[in-house]
Chains A and B, each alone.
Chain A
Amino acid sequence: MIAILARRDLASAFQTPLAWLLLAAMQATLAWIMLRVLDRFTGLEPLERSAGLNLELAHNVFGSASVLLLLAAPLLAARALSQERRDGTYAMLAAMPLSPTQLLLGKFLALALLLLALCAPPLLLCLSLIGAAPVDPGLFVAAALGLWLSGLLFAAVGLFAASLTAQPALAVVIAYGLLTLLSVVNRAEQIAAEQTSLLDWLAWNQHLFWFLSGVVRISDLVYFLLMTTMFLAFAHRRLANLYFR
């Protein structure tokens, strides 16, 4: 059932211009950023370079890609859930022999696969340098993994926001609000000098940073897994409660 739901959502994203537009926008923006990074490297002597090409590329290209995913994932999630509620198709699904868990996981699986496709442009762009420069594929694969995990977190937050309202636009705004909070929560450190390790831990960008540096740490994997599961659990609660609304 989960696969059936996911297949429809995924097909729908590629049957409409949505997925293609996102892929094209991603490709164009990241290609521009990559060219700028490469531009800085051409003509410089090795001693004049402050950082390696691989790290520069990973931080700039994958870092920008993560911001693009942060913008795209809530839109996709609102489309997957809020829009179904607004257009009345949710009523049909609710009358079918499906549990809220299956429904939610079906939606999440489709988003996860779509985001996986969106992780391809930065990875392929960076790997296209193989043969022309000393590229470290392992670093880029780690960065792509971190990017995808961040995308999953954004999608889970998006689904939770979409479970709160049947208005897609409102769902997107709520999701952006939550994600902004999760992005700047560690900035409190700059205001208060006290220990802010928990707030620091809560911010997603701290964890993505390690992946972009080519370091896959269990603690970062656990962070993304925990936070994604938590927002999915919130969304599940909301969907189960829709029956009792």
Chain B
Amino acid sequence: MEALLQVRGVARRFGAKQVLHGIDFSLRPGEVLGLLGPNGAGKTTCLQILAGTLAPSSGSVAIHGHDMVRAPRAAKRRLGYLPERPPIYPEMRVDDYLAHAAALHGLPTRDIAKAVQRVKRRCGLQQVGPRLLGKLSKGYRQRAGLAQALVHEPDLVILDEPTDGLDPVQIREVRMLIGDLGRSCGVIVSSHVLSEVQAVCNRVVILRDGRVLHSGPLGDSAPTRALRVRLRRPPAPPQIEGLPQVAAAVPDNTPGGGPGVFGIELAEGFGADQLAKALVGAGWGLLELTPARSDLERIFFESIGAEESGA
């Protein structure tokens, strides 16, 4: 399948400050790519370059093979972009705003009303169609911004921190929407929240100081050997280490831990199922058995750690 988005050696400097160093990746339809990194890693600059609102100092971005610098209008035709701040006109009504966005994206006049209805349904804006954007809550504004990016059914959607400032219910809705989008088009989501990327993305690019530290798929890596267990009747750690399945056990005193919670390193050749069986067999009352860190957390801290040890 032809790549939807092709990013080759994109670098950007602002004056003397190099913000991005040679970013390379590509995106295919149906992929949801998480652009992850600490604040100030260059995520927003990278997305601005991908969306064609900022020129790269070197390198190229192509959407459907159209180069963003040489043929910007062809490249942007199938693109939807939600900037960091929802781009709304406070004096406009939601319906008019979406119709305006649809017209600017080049939808024929006869299709606009239908497209607005469709995107309102998709983003949960049916109730607020006649209301002024300036009078809406932050969550609805964010959704209106999102709807603006989706009204023309783009092939590539770029979302800069789409759940920033939303409440947990709204975050869940936006995540479901992104999952839904990922079935039909390519999506790039930036975030500094690991759980966010873990929840919606099937690929991740980790940025730090403008460099790609890691780029790869999520969810099909080997099972972790670091586990976390919660026991109803906890024994002393040496007793747990006495089990053949366990290489090391330490009480977990981090905020999420507490009495009865242990971090366990599996011994070579054993799996989580065998550990569970042994813990239950010992009669300690197994309450929880989870990976010590999520898949993504591991990748993130390993790649940042790798960079720090290499530096």
Residues of A with Cβ closer than 8 Å to B?
A: 1, 4-5, 8, 11-12, 15-16, 87-99, 243-245
Complex CA gap A87/B141 in Å reads 13
Q: Residue B54 contacts which of A1, A15, A245 (CB distance < 8 angstroms)?
A: A245
Given contacts A4-B100, A243-B55, A244-B55, contact A89 B76 (CB under 8 A): no
Residues of B with Cβ closer than 8 Å to A?
A: 48, 51-55, 72-74, 76-77, 79, 81, 83-89, 91-92, 96, 100-101, 103-106, 145, 148, 158
Q: Which residues of A contact B96 (CB under 8 A)?
A: 11
Q: Which residues of A contact B158 (CB under 8 A)?
A: 95
Tell me the smallest distance from the CB of A99 to a CB of chain B, in Å.
Answer: 7
Asked if A95 and B85 sit within 8 Å, CB to CB, the answer is no
Asked if A5 and B91 sit within 8 Å, CB to CB, the answer is no
Q: Which residues of A contact B83 (CB under 8 A)?
A: 88, 91-92, 95
Asked if B104 and A4 sit within 8 Å, CB to CB, the answer is yes
Complex CA gap A98/B105 in Å reads 9
Complex CA gap A51/B293 in Å reads 90
Tell me the smallest distance from the CB of B23 to a CB of chain A, in Å.
Answer: 18
Can you list 19 pairs linking A and B with CB atoms under 8 Å apart?
Answer: A4-B103, A88-B85, A88-B87, A91-B48, A92-B81, A92-B101, A92-B145, A93-B104, A94-B53, A95-B81, A95-B83, A95-B158, A96-B101, A96-B104, A97-B72, A99-B72, A243-B53, A243-B54, A243-B55
Tell me the smallest distance from the CB of A4 to a CB of chain B, in Å.
Answer: 5
- Report the tally of A-B residue pairs with Cβ distances under 8 A: 72
Complex CA gap A93/B97 in Å reads 13
Asked if B76 and A96 sit within 8 Å, CB to CB, the answer is yes
Asked if A97 and B91 sit within 8 Å, CB to CB, the answer is no
Tell me the smallest distance from the CB of A85 to a CB of chain B, in Å.
Answer: 11
Tell me the smallest distance from the CB of A16 to a CB of chain B, in Å.
Answer: 5
Q: Which residues of B contact A8 (CB under 8 A)?
A: 89, 92, 100
Tell me the smallest distance from the CB of B261 to a CB of chain A, in Å.
Answer: 44
Complex CA gap A118/B92 in Å reads 23
Asked if B104 and A94 sit within 8 Å, CB to CB, the answer is no
Asked if B87 and A5 sit within 8 Å, CB to CB, the answer is no
Q: Residue A94 contacts which of B52, B86, B100 (CB distance < 8 angstroms)?
A: B52
Q: Which residues of A contact B77 (CB under 8 A)?
A: 97
Asked if B87 and A1 sit within 8 Å, CB to CB, the answer is no
Tell me the smallest distance from the CB of B225 to a CB of chain A, in Å.
Answer: 44
Complex CA gap A90/B96 in Å reads 18
Q: Which residues of A contact B87 (CB under 8 A)?
A: 87-92
Asked if A97 and B85 sit within 8 Å, CB to CB, the answer is no
Asked if B53 and A95 sit within 8 Å, CB to CB, the answer is yes
Nearest A residue to B85, CB-CB: A88
Asked if A12 and B55 sit within 8 Å, CB to CB, the answer is no
The 8 closest A-B pairs by CB, nearest first: A92-B87, A95-B81, A88-B85, A94-B53, A91-B83, A95-B51, A97-B73, A89-B87
